[in-house]
Chain A
Amino acid sequence: MARFRTIRYIIGAAFGSMWRNLLTTFTAIITIAIMLIVFSTFLAVNDTLDHMIDALGRRTNLVAYVQDAAPPSEITALVQSVSARADVAEIVFVSREQAADDFRNTLSDLAEILDVIETNPFPASIEVRMADPEGLLPLADELRLQPALIDQVLVRADVVGRLLRVSNLARIGGGILIISLGAVTLFVIFNTIRLAVYSRREEIEIMRLIGATDWFVRGPFVVEGAVIGFIGAGLSAIAVVAGYARVGPTLESLVSFLPIQTQTGFVTNLALFTMLMGVLIGSVGSYFSVRRYLEN
């Protein structure tokens, strides 16, 4: 019973302190909300980039046209050696006849041209889909080194390569951003709680003189930090969900060929994750803030 009353006191004291320092509390909440919006946006962008790279990786990335005169046994050997590579997901050999059939099937209006020409103008080809897009350009270079077998190599490297570069940059930039934002958010919480501690310093002194444990003194401030973090993160989650609902469909229709992340599941997870971050940063920041005060 006494424990329940203590918990009730700690929660009550936390909200009382927030109310007394309303302006500081409000500033901290807004700052945390902004930090977490930037954080979520970064996570969303990063995730979308990952998805794009993944999806593009799933398409055929490389087509090598085979010399008409190339001996079939050597082509088979080449196909086998390429398919043995770890970074290759799939390799398909398309014979000249198959290429002509594909042309007839996909472009039926133009199929008559083939009858006019009489001979099959299509070369045989090897189509490669990469498991790891990073291996794409080295593989293309390797194939080009065999002009006796391979006539021409077409690579979808432009898009994939750029995406990879952007994604890597985003990862590095994002890492720095997350660390800086985390530090700034911790600093904001730390100082907000320090102000709250300062405004209740007499009460704290009395508490300690009459035998309060450190946890009894700390409790309300840790709860206060967690609540500030929770509200800030809640606002950020609302902004992210609303932003997605508004911007998502527009983006999808603008760049329908790219796999933009707009599933509700992703947004919900993102919102929950930022909430967790908010509460964590809030409580940890305030814990250290009060601890420092008490130890001094």
Chain B
Amino acid sequence: MIIVQDVVKAYDEITPALDHVSLQINDRDFVFLVGSSGAGKTTLIRLINKDEEPTSGSIFVDGVNITRLKRGEVPSLRRKIGVIFQDFKLLPHATVSENVEFALRVVGEHDGRGHQRVEEAIETVGLSAQARRRPYQLSGGEQQRVAIARCLVTDPPIVIADEPTGNLDPDTGWETMNLLVRINAMGTTVLIATHNRELVNTMRRRVISLEDGKVVRDEVGGGYSG
């Protein structure tokens, strides 16, 4: 469960990027975070992943107030949250399986079952045939799926995706979205920041809309613009 309580994030003194934002995302929820560029979507995601600190307010992930976490405790938070980025953030010189394996190594879970877990994650995203390729040999959609497999392999309870379809054509965007739906069906909480109107309108899931750093709408089964 993610609870955001009265969070303000100000980069300057003029307009805060997030202005007293409060919201709650329950376990197994599938939530779209929508809004135009600069509305505060990415800032909120970065705060939840403790990539940045809020100016004021509290954020709880699985009951832990992450704003009070010490530096050394941040890795344990990030192991609970799998993040998928718009620019994929893959290791350019590593193969698909090495990229996925890397996540297991980083969290220290590369044990005897490591290879099997990597293969399973790659199979889930349908890239078994491309396992030995490197990112530059893959299409944008395929790279995004590698990023999803990397996220899946450590089996985090929460997956956050920041504009996961932003760099993809509509068909590939749909494939990525279907994968995220399947991940959610397996019990993972999914939070997706997007401004892909068509996807949001078609899927009719819970939609939290941000405008100028404020939550202006939180609607279950909603569309992009309400």
Residues of A within 8 A of B (CB): 1-3, 5-6, 9, 202-203, 205-214, 216
Contact = CB atoms under 8 A, between A and B. Distances in A.
A214 B72 contact: yes
15 contacts: A1-B111, A1-B112, A2-B109, A2-B111, A5-B110, A9-B110, A202-B89, A206-B91, A210-B150, A210-B154, A211-B76, A211-B107, A211-B154, A214-B71, A214-B75
Give the interface size class of chain B: 20 to 34
B108 interface: yes
A1 B72 CA distance: 23
Contacts of A214: 71-72, 75
Nearest to A3: B108
Given A2-B110, A206-B90, 16 more contacts: A2-B109, A5-B114, A6-B108, A202-B91, A205-B89, A210-B78, A210-B79, A210-B106, A210-B150, A211-B106, A211-B107, A211-B154, A212-B75, A212-B107, A214-B71, A216-B108
A206 B89 contact: yes
B96 interface: no
Interface in B68-109: 71-72, 75-79, 82-83, 89-92, 102-103, 105-109
Given A5-B110, A205-B89, A206-B91, A213 B75 contact: yes
A214 B78 CA distance: 13
B108 A209 contact: no
Given A203-B91, A205-B89, A210 B112 contact: no
Contacts of B82: 210
B188 interface: no
Contacts of B92: 202
Nearest to A213: B75
Contacts of A3: 108
Most chain B CB within a 10 A radius of its CB, from A202, A208, A212 = A212
A209 B91 contact: no
Interface of B: 49, 51, 71-72, 75-79, 82-83, 89-92, 102-103, 105-112, 114, 150, 154
A210 B103 contact: yes
B218 to A, nearest CB: 27
A213 B82 CA distance: 16
Contacts of A216: 106, 108
Top 10 nearest A-B pairs (CB, nearest first) are A211-B78, A211-B79, A212-B106, A2-B111, A211-B75, A213-B75, A5-B110, A206-B89, A1-B111, A210-B103
B163 to A, nearest CB: 15
Nearest to B85: A209
A196 to B, nearest CB: 15
Most chain B CB within a 10 A radius of its CB, from A2, A3, A205 = A2
Contacts of A207: 106
Nearest to A9: B105
B53 to A, nearest CB: 14
A211 B112 CA distance: 21
A2 to B, nearest CB: 4
A178 to B, nearest CB: 35
A214 B71 CA distance: 9
